[in-house]
Structure formats: structure tokens, C-alpha cells
Structure 1
Amino acid sequence: MGLLDNVGDQVAKHSDKIDDAIDRGGDFIDDRTDGKHADRVDQGQDFLRDKADDLAGRDEPRRQA
């Protein structure tokens, strides 16, 4: 079992906490910028979720509204 396998397992195991952290980070940025960059923040959050899905080995990415 390689290092990336272990990372992927941990990402899959803690995906709910990772999603929460991505949401909180985006909310923080939106608060600090008064929502001026909300579209870019949303794109960044989607990107991070897709990368987490890749690490977890998910074939179909999850989408959070």
C-alpha cells in the first residue's frame, strides 16, 4: 500500500469533514471580501471537491449545491 493509497483512504473516510472545511473556507473568504468574488470562490470550492474526489478514488464527482 503506497502513500497515495493511504491518503485516498483517509480522504474517503473523512469526506464530510473535508467538505465542511471547504465550505467554511469559502464562507470566510466571502465574508472578508463582502461577496465580491463569490463566483470565483464557488469555482474554487468545486475544484477542491473534485480533487478530493479524485484522491478518494470516486469515479463520479459529488456535487454540492
Structure 2
Amino acid sequence: MSMLDKIKGMIKGHPDQARQGVEKGGDFVDKRTGGKYGKQVDSAQKKLNDQLGDSHPRNDER
């Protein structure tokens, strides 16, 4: 069982909390890097949300 499968199992039934976690993680990286990698962080967040089956649109598209 892959790590992603384990994570999917843990967040099953909690997609909003998972999305919040992805957003907070991306915000943390943006803050620590001064926003230097903002586009890459946004791309990673989108891909992670897609992999987790949570494809809600982002409110703050850059």
C-alpha cells in the first residue's frame, strides 16, 4: 500500500479538512520563501488536491 493510499484512507470523509491542510502547507512554504516559488506551490497544491480527489476551485488564483 502506497503512502498516498494511506493518506487517502485517513482523509476519507473529510475533504474540506484535507483541502485546508494543503492550503496551509502551501501558505507556509510561500511565507518561508517570500513567495518566490508561488507558481510552483500553487501548481503542487492543485496536483495534490486532484490526487486526493478534492478538486475544489481555488479562491485566490494568481
Q: Give the TM-score taking structure 1 as reference length.
A: 0.69
Identity %: 32
- Relative contact order: is structure 1 or structure 2 higher (C-alpha 8 Å, sep ≥ 6)? 1
**How many residues in Structure 1 have an aligned counterpart in Structure 2?**
53
1:15-48 deviation line (CA, Å, top 9, x unaligned): 0110000000000000000000000000000011
For structure 1, the 5+ residue unaligned runs are: 55-60
Residue type of the alignment partner of 1:34: G
Larger Cα-atom Rg: 1
Task: Looking at secondary structure, tell me which structure has more helix per residue.
Answer: 1
Cα RMSD of the aligned pairs, angstroms, is 2.1
